[in-house]
Each structure stands twice: as structure tokens, then as C-alpha cells.
Structure 1
């Protein structure tokens, strides 16, 4: 049995922050390779194979749908077996998926390879690392999640490295290299993120007893731990899920199509488009830092609702203002909104429903959230193919995201145990 950590060393040695650090490394690599990197890879595939934006959007959507449908099973296995076995299984599946992507030569091969890779990316990704971090924090939950999210933002900033690899050694070799690095990092991180407070005897948040008493509860925390079945019966579960989904209409469509939009509609080179896409996460870091500070202090629904308006304004400005500064406006508004809103998505669920069944609750929520991740790129890509540019598709998505604020208005915490 682990000895309780002494008050004088609780914060300095707190394992929870090590978990956050390991998760940040994995999420940074996943952001660079899988999330932000897909848009840059799409440009290479379009140029080599002549594949349409609609087809690439369908593949992107199919991978997100697969991740959504395995979410409940993944959440259940995280609760039953723990984070480490799930993440290591994901590392193996990811390695196999990257190899498969690197050798594709047809549409069918690409779709099957991406579906295999999606399994690995899901098992080492958002749901798994969020569950690991939430288990270690209560009063400083938004802060911990914001630091973790900074890794995601840094990975997006590093996405131009992939483009450099495409230009120097080709996209196939680049996919193999970055895939090997990501899979190895996930295997290593599993040894850290698989720990839980009860395994080490450390106090929650790494706070001494006196510090815990003096630190107020995070804003919105109910102090309850609901099961997945209980959470599903609350209005808050559905409003948070749909609010998150509507935000992803802009977030995921811009990740999948920003490079294509900039190269086709605004005449950017592939390298310049990658740089612009990489600057967005740099601004996101600033928003994430603000979100971590504000999320534990003021209403997370207010933060999320304002961010939805910023997402919508950013995308509408990008396609309706022809001047070059529209790209700058998009970078600032979208990056800040993404950063400040991101940590609230996990934190508010843990505040409302507790951490005991967080993985299962998040797994079920992901089915709804992924609707936005699928619909956004598909709407943008199909309408771009049909009309010849991205204006109509991005307009629809921008307006929808702004209207999504209404979900956060009604996403009130459960008034009584469900």
C-alpha cells in the first residue's frame, strides 16, 4: 500500500501533473499528425491522385463516425481495465494504421487504412487522456485540462514540419516516421497516465489538507458522481453534447479544409497555407491559458457561449471579406475561441457528473459530438465541389456555430440527483 504523500511535498511531486505532461506530449503529436495534419495530407493526395474534396471529406467523416461509435465501448473499457491497457492497444493499432496509410494506392485502400488508423487514434486520444487527467483533479480541473490542451495547440503549430517532410522525403516516408514517433510516445505515456490517486495515496489536486480547505470549489461543480445512465437522463448532458457538436462544425471543417481553401480560393502555396494553419494553434495557446484561469472561476457556460459567437464570426469573416486581413481576423478569433472553450468541454462534464463514470459518459456524448465533426467537413467539401468555392459551405457552418450558443444557455447543472 502506498504511503500518503506528506504535506510539504504534495504539490512538488504530485503525480497528477506528470499525467498532464505525458498526455500533453501524446496529444501534441496526435494534433500534428492526425488532427491538423490531415488537411496538409489532403493537399498531397489531391495533387497525386486527383481525389475530390467530397471524397476526402467522406473519408474524414467516416473515421470520426467510427471513433464515435466505439466511444461507449472505449469508455467502458477504461473504467474496467484502466487507461494504460487501452492506450497501449491504441499504440499498436496506430503503428499498423500508419504503415497502411503509407502504402495506399487507391481510394478503397485509403479508406480502409484510415479506418484502421482511427481505431488507434481513438484509443490513445481525447477520451483516454481526458479520463486520465480528470481522475487527478477537482478544484483545479480546468487549469489541468488547459495545460493538457496546450500540447494539442503546440502540435498544430508544428504541423508545417509535416509539410517540410512531404517536400523533402515525400508524404509516404513522412507518414511512416511521424507515425512511429507517435506510437512510441503513446506506449511510453501509458506507464504514466495509467496511474490513479488511489495507487499512490496522494491527495486530490496535489493540495495539502489546509490548502484544499482554503481553495474554493471549481465554479459549477456539483460534487456528485453520476453513472452514465443517470447522466443520460439529465438535460445538461444533451445540451453540452450538442453545444460541443456545433462548435466542431467550425473547428473540424477548418482543420480538414483550411489548407485547401487557402490554396484554391485565396491562391496560397501549400507551404504558406500550412504556416497559416500552424499559427492558429499558436493563438489557441493564449486562449487556452485564459480558459484554464477563467474556467475554475466563472461560469463555463458563459465562456462557451461567447466562444461560439467568435467561431461563427471568424468563419464568416474569412469568406465574406476579400482583403488579406480577413485571414488574420480568422486566426485571432478562431484561435482564441478554440483555446478558451476547449478545456471547458471536459471540465463542465466532470463538474456536472463527477469523475467516477467520466469515461463512459464522455464515450456516449462523443456519439453526438462527432455529428458536428462529420457534418462540418462534409458540408464544406461537398458544397465547395458543387459551387466551385467554399463561400456557401463556410457561411452555413459559421451561422450554425453562432446559433449553437443557445445550447449553452440551457446547459444548466442537474438540479438534483438523477
Structure 2
């Protein structure tokens, strides 16, 4: 009697997580640059004014611990469905923009939805479903974000050129709701326990699984970190400072790369395709980071990708920028991909899984100040100087400093209370 092979259901979770990040992440993170120049031409807003919408989106990250608590209490599935509805409807409403304040309000609602559907719930899901192959599974899931940027950014630029920015916003919003809501509802399950299996599809009993767990991870399971206990460690705050400095530069390039290349003489379509290519390369960075982190200490992997980001930024300000574009696409693309995977792996490494959603949300709440401020500061500097160079140089130094700081991070010990 032949046995029918059934793949571990966790890989379906990874697949839907990747599709979610492809669509919602690709639209929410990367299409902004395609709308930048059309909005300037339509309303004569400054770059700082437009960039402020991203800062508003970033400030929603301050509610990261709250979202983490909701994911822990209600499960990722419910939160993601609500997030898809909010994000889709708000993007559709952006197609009716008539003032800067309306524009800000819709991006605020979109940010709430984006926070509910992207990193905290998705990475919590992957961490629940995988143990031995968590790095690889995380890399594959988050690769969807890179694929989304590679597809959605140039596609948005094309739709804008054919249909206009208003209808493009509406189409993107409808796509989020019509695809993700049914997909998440039908496929996502919060943990392996929901269908009576173990992480990784393991056949061993819970006792055997515990015996095979590495000692450092067993210690973290016994210690049971919480957000409040993590906040009392220097490790947490070093991670906040390190990743904030890095992500400030990352978010600024994501927001301003398209108008930067337009300023170099490219059309909006070509500039969007160029940045989309870098985001496409980031897929390799995401999967590569997951693969490396399963084999190399995460601090070394972090330092590698921090230095890649600094190198990519350097290429933007180097003489003969157009000639260095292929190198920028590869180097910054790899860095961008790796950075989105590193943080959850770092949290798991130092704090375990017991309070992963709340600790990740807490870390993101502080880092979002840099993520949100970076694009606005960059736009303001351009409005005052007519150049992005000053901002990019500052981000290079910040990223190099973060490379040093990551080696100061040590595994924390839970204080007795």
C-alpha cells in the first residue's frame, strides 16, 4: 500500500506569508516612490511634505507592543484579516486624494492595516511553525517582500503612466482586499497545535523534542522572557540603537531612490524599474540571510549586511552614479533583503520565543522613530540643498557605527524577581 506524500503544512504557512508580504508589503513599502513625482506635479507639494506621510506611517510602529499583544492574545490570523481590510480600503481611498491632510489621514489608516498584516504576525507564524529550519523558513517568507517590490513598483509606475495615479491607488487597494482576505482566511492557522502536529512536522514527542533542543534555547524557554524583563537589559537597548541607525538609511533610500534617479535623468518608469531590480535582488539577501544564520552566529551575519548597506549608499554619492547603478542594484539589494530577515532572528537568538510578538513589537516601536524620520529628514535636506548627498553621507556613517555596535551585543540573563 503506497503512502501519499503530504508536505508539512508549515510550508503552506510560509507560502501564504510570502504572498502576503509580496502584495501588502510590496505595495505598502515600495510603491511610494512611483507616486512621488506625479504627486509633486499634481499638487506642487514639497518632498518633505510628501515624505511626512511615511513618517506618519512609521509612527504607528510605536504601537508595536500593542499589536504584538493582540497577536499573542487573538492569534495572527484574525489580526491579519483585519489588517488586509484596513490597508486595502485606505489605499483605494488614496485614489480620491484632494488635500495633503486627507493624504496623511489615509496613509495613517494604511499604516495601521500594514502593521496588522506584515512583520509581527507573519514572523510570529513562521517562528511558531518552525524550529530547526526557522532561519530558512523566515528567509523564504520574507523573500515575498522583495518579490513584491520587484513587481509592484515598476507595475505601479506603468499603471500611473497609463491610468493615472488616482486609478492606480484604487486598483492596488482592491487587489489587497480581494486576494489576501480570502487567502488568509482559508489557509492560515496560528500554530501547529491547531491541526495536531509539531513544529517542522516532527514525528517526535514533546519530551523527545525538548531533549533535542539546544541548551541555550532550553535555558531561554525556562527563563521565559517578557517584554518588561527584556526592557531591563542592555541587550535590548543596544539592538534598538543598532537597528534604528541602520533602518533610518534603509527607509530613506526606499522612499527617495525613485525621485533620486529621476533627478539623474531617468524617466519615472525607468527609475522605478531600476529600484525594483534592487528589490528583486533583495530576495537573494533574504534567503541567504536565513541560510547563513542557521550556520553562523547572527552578529557576524548582521555586520556583513550592515557593511553592504554602507557600500550601496556610497555608490549613490560616488561620481558617475549612472555607471555604478548595476553595482548599486546588487549591493544595496542584498543588504536590504538581509536586514528585513535579521531582526526577528536576532530576537529569537537572544530572547527566545515565549514573548516573541511583544518583544519584537517593542523593539520595532522604538526603531520606527528612525524608520519614520529618515524619509522626512532626507526630503527636508533635499528641499534646502537641492541634493541628497548630505543625507546619504550621514546614513553611511550611522550604518558603519551600527556595524561596530552589533559586536557589543551579548546574550542577556534574566534577573531574578
After TM superposition, the score normalised by the length of structure 1 is: 0.91
Contact kept? 1:91, 1:187, Cα under 8 Å? yes
- Superposed CA deviations along residues 353-408 of structure 1, whole A, max 9, x for unmatched, are 22221111111111111122122212211111110111111111121112111331
Matches within 5 A, 1:86-165: 86-158=79-151, 159-165=153-159
Q: Does 1:41 align with 2:35?
A: yes
Match of 1:30 among 14, 24, 32: 24
1:376 & 1:143 partners in 2: Cα distance? 30
Correspondence for 2:296: 298
The CA deviation at 1:78 is 0.9
Contact kept? 2:17, 2:141, Cα under 8 Å? yes
Counterpart secondary structure, 1:138? coil
Contact kept? 2:210, 2:218, Cα under 8 Å? no
1:120 & 1:369 partners in 2: Cα distance? 19
The CA deviation at 1:217 is 4.7
Provide closer, same or farther for how the CA distance between residues 341 and 122 of structure 1 changes in structure 2, counting only shifts above 3 A.
Answer: closer
Contact kept? 1:250, 1:312, Cα under 8 Å? no
Provide closer, same or farther for how the CA distance between residues 282 and 228 of structure 1 changes in structure 2, counting only shifts above 3 A.
Answer: same
Matches within 5 A, 1:214-293: 217=214, 223-224=220-221, 225-264=224-263, 266-293=264-291
Alignment gaps of 5+ in structure 2: none
Which structure has the highest helix share of the two?
A: 2
Correspondence for 1:188: 182
Counterpart secondary structure, 1:324? helix
Correspondence for 1:5: none
1:183 & 1:53 partners in 2: Cα distance? 30
Residues 378-387 or 317-326, more deviating: 317-326
- Superposed CA deviations along residues 324-376 of structure 1, whole A, max 9, x for unmatched, are 23222222211112223332211121232222211111111111111221222
Provide closer, same or farther for how the CA distance between residues 16 and 98 of structure 1 changes in structure 2, counting only shifts above 3 A.
Answer: same
1:243 & 1:321 partners in 2: Cα distance? 29
Matches within 5 A, 1:46-85: 46-65=40-59, 67-85=60-78
Counterpart secondary structure, 1:42? helix
- Superposed CA deviations along residues 25-61 of structure 1, whole A, max 9, x for unmatched, are 0100123211110111112211211111111121111
The CA deviation at 1:128 is 1.6
Contact kept? 1:74, 1:363, Cα under 8 Å? yes
Match of 1:205 among 183, 193, 200: 200
Contact kept? 1:223, 1:351, Cα under 8 Å? no
RMSD (CA atoms): 2.3
2:127 & 2:47 partners in 1: Cα distance? 37
1:21 & 1:317 partners in 2: Cα distance? 34
After TM superposition, the score normalised by the length of structure 2 is: 0.92
